[in-house]
Amino acid sequence: MTESLENWLESSVAWAENAMRAAMDPMELGPKSFAEALRYPTFAGGKRLRPCLVRLINHEMGGRDADAESPAVAIEWVHTYSLVHDDLPCMDDDDLRRGKPTTHKVYGEATAVLVGDGLLTLAFELLANRGGPNALDMIAVLARAAGPAGMVGGQHLDLSAEQGGVNTDGVREIHRLKTAALIEAACELGALAAGASAAARQAARRYGLALGLCFQAVDDCLDVTGQATDLGKTPGKDAAAGKATLVADLGLDGAQEEAGLRAAEARVAAQEAGFQPQGFALGLVDWLLSRTH
Amino acid sequence: MTESLENWLESSVAWAENAMRAAMDPMELGPKSFAEALRYPTFAGGKRLRPCLVRLINHEMGGRDADAESPAVAIEWVHTYSLVHDDLPCMDDDDLRRGKPTTHKVYGEATAVLVGDGLLTLAFELLANRGGPNALDMIAVLARAAGPAGMVGGQHLDLSAEQGGVNTDGVREIHRLKTAALIEAACELGALAAGASAAARQAARRYGLALGLCFQAVDDCLDVTGQATDLGKTPGKDAAAGKATLVADLGLDGAQEEAGLRAAEARVAAQEAGFQPQGFALGLVDWLLSRTH
């Protein structure tokens, strides 16, 4: 392995953004003013973690990059829609996302609701148009992870938890649904793109779930320890909003310990899945654990 | 034909609602409080026009009712999600829907956004789980009609049109996207459920498009002529909101004439599609034209 993880991530972000453009350009995006609003949050930057994971797992399981494009794009559009809706005044009420005005600040609330709806719908249209033997499985995996039994249900729990009364297990359940379900799905989509076996799909899911829980535990810590300039948002916002977080429940040390445990689980899962011992799947665990934004 | 159209519609509504229950019951709907919120708009009544059309066209093209169930349910969930989002304060701001409090009045705005998101996602999960040779085509048809190039784009145009400056062709374009695209898709889904040929799919679409435009033209008229008790909502609301409607543009007589023209087109399309000369596809055109709610 000659390429560094940082270089690989950088090239994967460019790959994901190129794939998003190539996928969106030929699609009919409706009225011109709406198409413009759709593109705004889609190409507003970000870590592109989920498409990077689709690419990574597909590669680890023997697939070509081209096979991973549609699922990588679809899951990033689902993630993007969820951010647009989460930022709405009736949800988390955020004016800034990655240092830029949120979609509803630029285009108004009604358009932001519709942009989210549109991106979610386009994600499924893209996978349906992809075709191929695994397209239906991909749609089922993505829908399940994004829907009531996954991300959307987790967001509901998260908002309900602001009333208080949530213990550590409750916070873990929120994290599993709200964040880890989609990261788990990214890894399973990578396995599906590579045409992997059912057992390999399962191994990819275990890695993704642990990685997703680690990611969200670190997120909770960064709300306390992060710098606004790194995060592109105001630190301390979760605490101020009375959010149920691991830090609120276990303290910063406890939350960092939890992140470390999830990272260890992800490393074990990566080994069991047969990922390269010095490869990016393992490197990514440490990178996520030590990230500052 | 011994059964009357009214009886057939009544039995089709019951069929659609049974199919919706049978489809939703085994699905994982996430946290209990969220599952309850999801069911609220789903089982709050309604004409169930779109699933009735899936059943009707599937039957006309030789399919069995069981083949039509998943697409009928999926399109009604998409329609239901669109109503939940349309009723939000930042959109049409409606407190009542079919005489009952809207979802955000009962569960709050944040949950209403998530309920809409959840129903849209479940619709695609259901079709993906259905499997079969036409499932991918069904997902593509539904996503296209519901997305930016269809319903969502039409809703955006409709909201933008409140600023004024929309001529009759502009109103027709809004109607085509906002309403007719999904009704057209219902008919195409019926053809797909029956395993119909590409030519038959096309014929079903022509019928559905004309029927959808007729439906929305009648809707515009009912906003002026309808009774609150029949409509389950306040008449005159479109006019008060400065909505672009056919009545505002052509007057009531002109809008009724337009509805009649679309009905005539739907009858021609039904004949060209080879639907039964005295059958429900033709009867439905007159029924929609003369409806009072």
pLDDT at residue B242 in the model: 83
Chain A residues close to B153, C-beta within 8 Å: 29-31, 34, 118
The tens digit of pLDDT for each residue in A28-81 reads: 999 999 999 999 999 999 999 999 999 999 999 999 999 999 999 999 999 999
Residue pair B41/B23 in contact by the 8 Å Cβ criterion: no
Cβ neighbours of B7 (radius 10 Å):
10
Tell me the angle at which helices A109-130 and A135-146 cross, rounded to the nearest 10 degrees: 150
Contact with chain A for residue B33, Cβ under 8 A: yes
Across residues A154-176, what is the average pLDDT? 93
> How far is B108 from chain A, CA to nearest CA, in Å?
9
DSSP secondary structure of A82-128 = HHHHHTSTTTT--SEETTEE-HHHHH-HHHHHHHHHHHHHHHHHHHH
Phi, psi of A232 (to 5 degrees): 75, 10
Task: Return the bridge partners of B96, or none.
Answer: B101
Q: Looking at residues A223-250, what average pLDDT do you find?
A: 80
pLDDT of residue B279: 92
Q: What is the CATH architecture assignment of A5-285? A: Orthogonal Bundle (1.10)
Q: How far is CA B277 from the centre of its chain?
A: 24
Torsion, Cα B126 B128 B134 B139, to 10 degrees, reads 80
Q: Tell me: pLDDT of B210 over 50.
A: yes
Does residue B231 have a pLDDT over 70? no
Closest Cβ–Cβ partner in B113, B136, B148 for A118: B148
Share of chain A above pLDDT 90, in %: 86
How confident is the model over A195-210, as a mean pLDDT? 97
Could you tell me the CA-to-CA distances from B79 to A40, B51, B90, B143 in Å, in that order?
A: 26, 10, 19, 12
Please state, in angstroms and rounded to a whole number, the distance separating the CA atoms of residues A284 and A49. 10
> Based on the number of CB atoms within 10 Å of its own CB, is B140 exposed (0-12), middle (13-18) or buried (19 or more)?
buried
Strand boundaries in chain B, DSSP class E:
96-97, 100-101
Residue A11 neighbours by CB under 8 Å, 6+ apart: none
Q: Determine the pLDDT at residue B133.
A: 83
Which residue type sits at A214? C
The tally of CA atoms less than 13 A away on the side-chain side of residue B198 is 0
In the A/B pair of chains, how many CB contacts fall below 8 A?
A: 176
**Is B269's pLDDT higher than 80?**
yes
User: What value does the mean pLDDT take over residues B235-264?
Assistant: 91
Residue B230, pLDDT score: 65
Cβ partners under 8 Å of residue A126, min gap 6: A23, A27, A70, A73, A74, A77
Answer whether B249's CB lies under 8 Å from B274's CB.
no
Burial of B86 (0-12, 13-18, 19+ CB in 10 A): buried
Structure tokens at B255: 């809008």
Measure the CA–CA gap between A184 and A53, rounded to whole angstroms: 9
The answer to whether the CB atoms of A136 and B140 lie below 8 A apart is no
- In tens, the pLDDT along B54-73 reads 999 999 999 999 999 999 99
Question: How many other CB atoms sit within 10 Å of the CB of residue A63?
Answer: 20
CB-CB contact of B60 with B14 (8 Å): no
Smallest CA-to-CA distance from A42 within A80, A12, A11 is with: A80
**What's the pLDDT at B1?**
47
The pLDDT of residue B218 is 96
pLDDT-derived band of residue B2, with 50, 70 and 90 as boundaries?
Answer: low
pLDDT bin (cut points 50, 70, 90) of residue B228 is low
- The pair phi, psi for residue A15, each rounded to 5°, is -60, -45
Distance CA A70, CA A189 (A): 10
Which member of A116, A136, A148 has the closest CB to residue B136? A136
Q: For the residues B223-233, what does the mean pLDDT come to?
A: 73
Mean pLDDT along residues B122-134: 94
CA nearest to B61, candidates B180, B191, B218, B229: B191
Span B176-186, pLDDT tens digits? 999 999 999 99
Structure tokens at A284: 């990514």
Mean pLDDT (chain B) is 94
Tokens of A112: 């932001």
Percentage with pLDDT > 90 across chain B: 86
Taking residues B214-218, report their average pLDDT: 96
- Lowest mean pLDDT: which of A67-71, A198-202, A208-212, A243-247? A243-247
Q: Which of A25-34, B50-59, B229-238 has the lowest mean pLDDT?
A: B229-238
- Which of A30, A125, A136 lies closest to B143 in CB terms? A125
- The pLDDT of B271-288, averaged and rounded, is 94
Q: Which two tokens stand for residue B290?
A: 């003369």
Contact A153 B128 (CB under 8 A): no
Q: Which residues of A touch B88 (CB under 8 A)?
A: 90, 113
Which conformational region is residue B222 in: left (phi greater than 0), alpha (psi within -120 to 50 degrees), or beta? alpha
B140 → closest Cβ in A35, A125, A146: A125
Q: How many CB atoms lie within 10 A of CB A266?
A: 27
What is the overall mean pLDDT for chain A? 94
Report the length, in residues, of chain A. 293
CATH topology classification for B5-203: Farnesyl Diphosphate Synthase (1.10.600)
Query: Does residue B167 have a pLDDT over 70?
Result: yes
Where does the pLDDT of residue B192 fall: very low under 50, low under 70, confident under 90, or very high at 90 and above?
A: very high
CB contact under 8 A, B110 and A117: no
Q: Are strands A100-101 and B96-97 parallel, antiparallel or unpaired?
A: unpaired
| Residue of A188, A187, A160 whose CA lies nearest to A244 | A160
pLDDT of residue A231: 62
**For residues B160 and B243, what is the distance between their CA atoms, to the nearest angstrom?**
9
> Dihedral sign, CA of B51, B54, B60, B62?
negative
Judge whether residue A1 has pLDDT over 80: no
Interchain contact, B136 vs A128, CB within 8 Å: yes
Does any CB of chain A come closer than 8 Å to the CB of residue B162? no
Chain A contact for B117 (CB, 8 A cutoff): yes
Q: Distance between CA atoms of A112 and B121, rounded to whole angstroms? A: 18
DSSP per-residue codes, B209-245: HHHHHHHHHHHHHHHHH--HHHHSS-TTHHHHTT---
pLDDT score for B285: 96
The pLDDT, as a whole number, for residue A7 is: 95
**pLDDT of the residue at A235:** 73
pLDDT value for B235: 72
pLDDT at position B164: 83
Q: Output helix, strand, coil percentages for chain A, rounded to the nearest 5.
A: 75, 0, 25
pTM above 0.90, yes or no: yes
Token pair 């810590």 in the structure block, residue: A221
Burial of A259 (0-12, 13-18, 19+ CB in 10 A): buried
pLDDT, average across residues A149-161: 96
For chain B, the domains span 5-203
Q: Is A30 within 8 Å of B156 when comparing Cβ atoms?
A: yes
What the block records as the tokens of B230 is 């029949």
Measure the CA–CA gap between A285 and A56, rounded to whole angstroms.
13
Nearest to B83 by CA among B51, B116, B50: B116
Say how far apart CA B197 and CA B203 lie, in whole Å.
Answer: 10
Residue B112 has pLDDT above 90, yes or no: yes
pLDDT of residue B239: 81
Nearest of A293, A65, A276, A50 to residue A182 by alpha carbon: A50
Among candidates B121, B131, B159 on the partner chain, residue whose Cβ is nearest the Cβ of A110? B159
